[in-house]
Every structure is written in structure tokens, then in C-alpha cells.
């Protein structure tokens, strides 16, 4: 059985209860949501106070990574290992119904559970600092100025093996009640997409410097999630 055919274990922590028919636990479903985004939210409890931190994330197999400043209180607190919940979500549409309570949204969301740890191994950390670039911009880490030792020291990398996870997706039309269908009230779906715009070159780029090949993965008018799924495929060597 291939990795992508596997599913995450299910218990009370990650089971989808409301609209359970929208839930999925297989790796393909969860990874598809994770790989279509750049921004996650990491939730944890520190000294009895709940926090939720937005940050960039990337995935390598069953591992999730994110990074931040070494001065971060949250990151320092994760050195010994901290239980966290990492969430990635996408808004795909606004659903307008004829009844107020039937208004809804189309969305994709993934919730991942595990123990976050600081990546201390020098080789793993160096690979991760390259991956945070190459995952989104294939090959770029080898074309930019390398990190100095001080820059690497000032950056903390966090890794978390996904122990449990669930995906939840709504991709449907209006859920009107049968008795409401004849009401003279407009109903429908407003699609929502994040679309890539025209590239804006820094005014300080010297004349004659060509645009790098990694920009080809972000053509104007393309949706961001499609571009990110493609760069993930390239990063994985697919």
C-alpha cells in the first residue's frame, strides 16, 4: 500500500462531528488542503494561556515545518516538545440561501495534531531553511545569497510529525428547504478565489537581470492554490 493510500487514525480528538459526511482522514485529502496554502495557524497553550499564531508552513511527507525568530517566546517554549494543533483553511465561496440559517460557505480545511519540536540537528535545519524557499519557489535557494551563520542562528525551525488529522470540505450549492424554493428571494453562490497578479519587479534590480525561472510557476491570472500544488509536486520530485 502506498503512503497516499493511508489514513490518519481517528478518535474523539480529530473526528468530524458536525456534517461528518464532509470529513476525510486519508493522507491525500489532508495533504491536498495543506499543500494548497502557504499560511497556517498554530494553536497551543503556553503558561495556561491559549495562543494561535499565523505563520508560513511547508510539508515533507508526514512532517509539517514552520519557522520564526529565535527570540519568540512561543518557539522557545517548544524546545522540549509542545502539543499543538495546526490548521489550514481556504474560503472557496459564499453561499446565499432563501432562509437566514441556511446561508453558508464553501471551504476546505485541514486540522493536524502532533507534538512540535525545535529542529536542532544542523543538517536538518539547513535543509529546512532551504526548503522554506524551494517548496514555494523551486530551485531558488541555490540562486540567492546564502544565509550567514548569524542569520541561521537567529531563525528557529519547528517540526511536527502529523499524528492525527482530518480534512473537511464543503463544495456544494444552496441548501434551501423544499418549502422555500418558490420564494421570490435570490439565492446562489459567490465564488471566492485568490488569483495571482502581475509581477512587480523591485526598482533596485540592476538592469539586465532576467526574471528567474521560478516565476513561471506563478503566471498572472492563475489561482494561488493551483500554483502551490504544482510547486509541491515539483518539490517532491513528481
Convert the pLDDT of each residue in 146-192 to its tens digit.
Answer: 988 888 888 889 999 999 999 999 999 999 999 999 999 999 999 99
Distance CA 41, CA 52 (A): 6
Mean of the pLDDT values across residues 220-232?
97
Q: Hey, what's the cell of 108?
A: 476546505
- Sign for the CA dihedral angle at 76, 79, 80, 83 comes to positive
pTM of the model: 0.90
1 CB contacts (<8 Å, ≥6 apart)?
Answer: none
Rounded to whole angstroms, the maximal C-alpha distance in the chain is 68
The DSSP letter of residue 130 is H
Distance CA 122, CA 120 (A): 6
Mean of the pLDDT values across residues 87-109?
97
* 40-94 pLDDT, tens digit each: 999 998 888 899 999 999 999 999 999 876 556 666 655 668 899 999 999 999 9
Distance CA 5, CA 23 (A): 16
Q: Which domains does the chain have, with CATH numbers?
A: 3-235 (2.30.110.10)
Does 16 score more than 60 pLDDT? yes
Pairing outcome for strands 104-118 and 155-161 = antiparallel
- The pLDDT of residue 21 is 87
Give the closest residue to 50 by CA, choosing from 41, 58, 59: 41
Amino acid at each position: 500500500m502506498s503512503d497516499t493510500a493511508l489514513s490518519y487514525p481517528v478518535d474523539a480528538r480529530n473526528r468530524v462531528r458536525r456534517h461528518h459526511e464532509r470529513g476525510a482522514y486519508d493522507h491525500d485529502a489532508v495533504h491536498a488542503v495543506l499543500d494548497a496554502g502557504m499560511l497556517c495557524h498554530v494553536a497551543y497553550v503556553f503558561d495556561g494561556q491559549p495562543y494561535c499564531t499565523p505563520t508560513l508552513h511547508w510539508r515533507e511527507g508526514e512532517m509539517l515545518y514552520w519557522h520564526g525568530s529565535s527570540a519568540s517566546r512561543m518557539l522557545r517554549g517548544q524546545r522540549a516538545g509542545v502539543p499543538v494543533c495546526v490548521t489550514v483553511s481556504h474560503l472557496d465561496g459564499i453561499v446565499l440561501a432563501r432562509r437566514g440559517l441556511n446561508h453558508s460557505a464553501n471551504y476546505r480545511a485541514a486540522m493536524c495534531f502532533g507534538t512540535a519540536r525545535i529542529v536542532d540537528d544542523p543538517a536538518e535545519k539547513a535543509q529546512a531553511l532551504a526548503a522554506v524557499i524551494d517548496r514555494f519557489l523551486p530551485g531558488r535557494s541555490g540562486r540567492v545569497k546564502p544565509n550567514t551563520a548569524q542569520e541561521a542562528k537567529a531563525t528557529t525551525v519547528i517540526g511536527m510529525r502529523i499524528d492525527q488529522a482530518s480534512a473537511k470540505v464543503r463544495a456544494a450549492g444552496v441548501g434551501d428547504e423544499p418549502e422555500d424554493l418558490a420564494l421570490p428571494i435570490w439565492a446562489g453562490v459567490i465564488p471566492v478565489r485568490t488569483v495571482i497578479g502581475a509581477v512587480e519587479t523591485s526598482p533596485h534590480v540592476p538592469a539586465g537581470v532576467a526574471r528567474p525561472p521560478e516565476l513561471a510557476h506563478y503566471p498572472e491570472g492563475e489561482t494561488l492554490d493551483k500554483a502551490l500544488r504544482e510547486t509541491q509536486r515539483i518539490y517532491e520530485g513528481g
